[in-house]
Amino acid sequence: MVSTIQSLPTDVVYLITAGEVIDSFMAVVRELVENSLDAGATRIVVSLWPQQWRIRVADNGCGMNLDDLQQAATAHSTSKIHSSADLWKINSLGFRGEALHSLTTLADLEVLSRPLGGNEGQRVIYNHEGEVTQVEIKAIAPGTVVTVNNLFANCASRRQGLPTINQQLKAVQGIIQQIALCHPHVNYQVWQNDKEWFTICPAQSGGKLIPQMLPQVRQGDLHEVNFKIPNLENSSLYLVIGLPDRCHRHRSDWVKVAINGRMIKSPELEQTILSAFHKTLPRDRYPVCFLHLTISPEQINWNRNPTKTEIYLHELTFWQEQITEAINQSLRISETNIKESVQTTRVSNLLKVAEAKGEYNFNSQNSQNSETQNYLKAVAQVSNTYIVAEHSGGMWLVEQHIAHERILYEQLCDHWQLIPVETPIILYQLSPAQVSQLERINLDIEPFGDKLWAVRNIPAMLKQREDAADAILELSWGGDLQTAQVAVACRSAIRNGTKMSLPEMQTLLDNWQRTRNPRTCPHGRPIYLSLEEPALARFFRRNWVIGKSHGI
Ligand code: ADP
Ligand code: MG
């Protein structure tokens, strides 16, 4: 047989490689918007006409002169890198110089651009090889307008293989939101068939945009942290999480990871995030979390796949530790986040002054010593169920049972200990599955006669309890060690309906606020309701009274 292996004609190679990157409306939008961001745009207008297979992206970025325009769509032409060494210094979103060229092979491309400082714009039309075939002077504002017409017209199979228009539009909205989270300082306007579809207004951080994207989430439901990584120049970690007692989702679609301005898929980092939320959310619920790492470019290899959504990250374990620590910090109660919803408005400042004289004084003494600090003071118990706790920014109602459950659960995770019991606990009529379940969590169990079993060691926390047998029975019903820990914590925690003295409540509060995840119990139920001072002041219309009596 004669070998028929040949090298493919160049245009075919481009069709294939272009197809890898540009395979949908979403991909076209992504490539063009990223170009606008690389050009320093602060306003980006995306217009779609799906039925016409037309997409336009207009920006107020640096623009291109005629020389640039002649070059822009030829194969592998980019202004962003010049040599292979530059591949390790990538600071821009684009670098392959492929997008515009690919678009010329897959569609009709037209670009209008005026460079910053230039006094006129040009409109150029490209042929399918990426060469300019027409140039025309145009009066436009500085910036660039790229129009893609008849997308995939020469690739019927590609058009057919695409999902429905609605699904594609959803994907477009998704990618614009992702890009906006990473580049929040930009105004994004999106049009569909000449009608405004949605707008994303600029904000100081990605977290501040989330309420625009998830209408049921409010700013106070989120917690943001932003820190520099010690000893690593130019590296930083930005994290915004939905507080687990306030928001979560039924899918993991809002576990988002970005690196250096681009959302990526990183199963490893996503898993790190999910693990950090372990046992803080209800069953089958997922956190809202957006992580943006800024890492020196030589730590990253973007060549894991052509759409640049997967990477190889050096020092993965180091970053995983940083992320876990950042999430843990955000979940804990600290001085900075206890007053998270207290805004220092004029009214609340006035209130503080007004109240400092009165009897209703917020307890803010011992606020110097940091680590062992207690922020909460128990003041009363309501319905033998809720502890009323006050702090410098308002008051909380803490449900005693689940707060205690959280404390015990964390103690159990830290020291799960089985201790021998003098008189064995006798269980009756266990199924083989129950017996092996108890063996699986390391209980020492053996037959003790007809349908009877003796258990000779138990979790330390159950030791003094009369209901130890019931507890063991409960554990026999299945689940892993963690499930067993949750069950033991729940059973051992103080019941609702139990009267507590002030010192007992204070001890419980002190221990609870030092837990790692004080917001929710291990089943994901919220532990406290906060009544922050500004909300109370608003509710009681106190600003009116003060305003009038002080003549302002
Ligand atoms: P890449 O982004 O990988 O460099 P592209 O094919 O997407 O490759 O773009 C080619 C070049 O065209 C870019 O390097 C840039 O110089 C120029 N360019 C593309 N879009 C714009 C834009 N909106 N504003 C200014 N320059 C642009
Ligand atoms: Mg590009």
The CATH number given to 206-331 is 3.30.230.10
Q: What is the pLDDT of residues 115-174, one digit of tens each?
A: 998 999 999 999 999 999 999 999 999 999 999 999 999 888 888 888 999 999 999 999
> Which residues have CB under 8 Å from 33's CB, separation 6+?
44, 46, 57, 175, 176, 179, 188
Distance 101 CA to ligand 1 centre (A): 10
Confidence of residue 223 (pLDDT cuts 50, 70, 90): very high
pLDDT at res. 139: 92
Which burial class, exposed, middle or buried, applies to 180 when counting CB atoms under 10 A from its CB (0-12, 13-18, 19+)?
buried
Ligand nearest to the CA of 75: 1
Distance 35 CA to ligand 1 centre (A): 5
* Ligand 1 atom at shortest distance from the alpha carbon of 97: 8
For residue 126, CA distances in Å to 13, 208, 250 come to 19, 40, 46
Fold exhibited by the domain 6-200:
Heat Shock Protein 90 (3.30.565)
Q: What is the pLDDT of residues 444-465, one digit of tens each?
A: 999 998 889 999 999 888 888 8
What residue's CA is closest to ligand 1, atom 2?
94
Residue 382 pLDDT greater than 50, yes or no: yes
Phi, psi of 2 (to 5 degrees): -85, 135
What residue's CA is closest to ligand 1, atom 13?
78
Second CATH level (architecture) for the domain 358-552: 2-Layer Sandwich (3.30)
Mean pLDDT of 293-297: 89
- Whole-structure pTM over 0.95, yes or no? no
Task: List ligand 1's pocket residues with C-beta within 6 A.
Answer: 31, 35-36, 38-39, 59, 61-64, 72, 77-80, 94-101, 144
* Ligand 1 atom at shortest distance from the alpha carbon of 57: 23
Q: For residues 307 and 456, what is the distance between their CA atoms, to the nearest angstrom? A: 59
Distance 34 CA to ligand 1 centre (A): 9
Q: What is the pLDDT of residues 309-328, one digit of tens each?
A: 787 888 899 999 999 999 99
pLDDT cut 70: percent of the chain above it: 84
Residue 2 pLDDT greater than 70, yes or no: no
Residue 412 pLDDT greater than 60, yes or no: yes
Ligand 1: which of 33, 59, 78, 96 to mutate, judged by most atoms within 8 Å of the beta carbon?
Answer: 78
For residue 12, CA distances in Å to 7, 121, 155 come to 10, 33, 12
Distance 409 CA to ligand 2 centre (A): 50
391 vs 14, which has greater pLDDT?
A: 391
Residue 368 pLDDT greater than 50, yes or no: no
What residue's CA is closest to ligand 1, atom 16?
79
pLDDT at res. 346: 42
Beta bridge partners of 459: 418
Mean pLDDT of 167-185: 97
Mean pLDDT of 255-275: 94
Residue 376 pLDDT greater than 50, yes or no: yes
What residue's CA is closest to ligand 1, atom 19?
35
pLDDT at res. 373: 63
CB 310 within 8 A of CB 277: no
Distance 372 CA to ligand 1 centre (A): 55
Distance 213 CA to ligand 2 centre (A): 26
Strand (E) positions, 70-221?
A: 108-114, 121-126, 132-138, 143-149, 187-192, 195-200
pLDDT at res. 314: 84
Ligand nearest to the CA of 100: 1
User: What's the whole-number average pLDDT of the chain?
Assistant: 85
pLDDT at res. 544: 62
13 vs 378, which has greater pLDDT?
A: 378
Residue 95 pLDDT greater than 90, yes or no: no
Mean pLDDT of 477-499: 88
Q: Which of 157, 105, 109 is nearest to 129 (CA)?
A: 105
For residue 397, CA distances in Å to 196, 244, 332, 530 come to 45, 17, 17, 6
pLDDT at res. 406: 94
Q: What is the pLDDT of residues 347-357, one digit of tens each?
A: 444 444 444 43
Distance 310 CA to ligand 2 centre (A): 17
* Ligand 1 atom at shortest distance from the alpha carbon of 95: 3
Mean pLDDT of 376-404: 93
What residue's CA is closest to ligand 1, atom 25?
63
Estimate the crossing angle of helix 25-38 against helix 99-106, to 10 degrees. Answer: 140
Residue 338 pLDDT greater than 70, yes or no: no
Q: What is the pLDDT of residues 48-77, one digit of tens each?
A: 999 999 999 999 999 999 999 999 998 877
Q: Which two tokens stand for residue 542?
A: 């106190």
Distance 256 CA to ligand 1 centre (A): 26
Ligand 1: which of 31, 35, 92, 93 to mutate, judged by most atoms within 8 Å of the beta carbon?
Answer: 35
pLDDT at res. 371: 44
Residue 203 pLDDT greater than 90, yes or no: yes
Q: What is the pLDDT of residues 205-219, one digit of tens each?
A: 999 999 999 988 988
Task: Report domain extents, the chain.
Answer: 6-200, 206-331, 358-552
Confidence of residue 285 (pLDDT cuts 50, 70, 90): very high
Beta bridge partners of 396: 389, 530
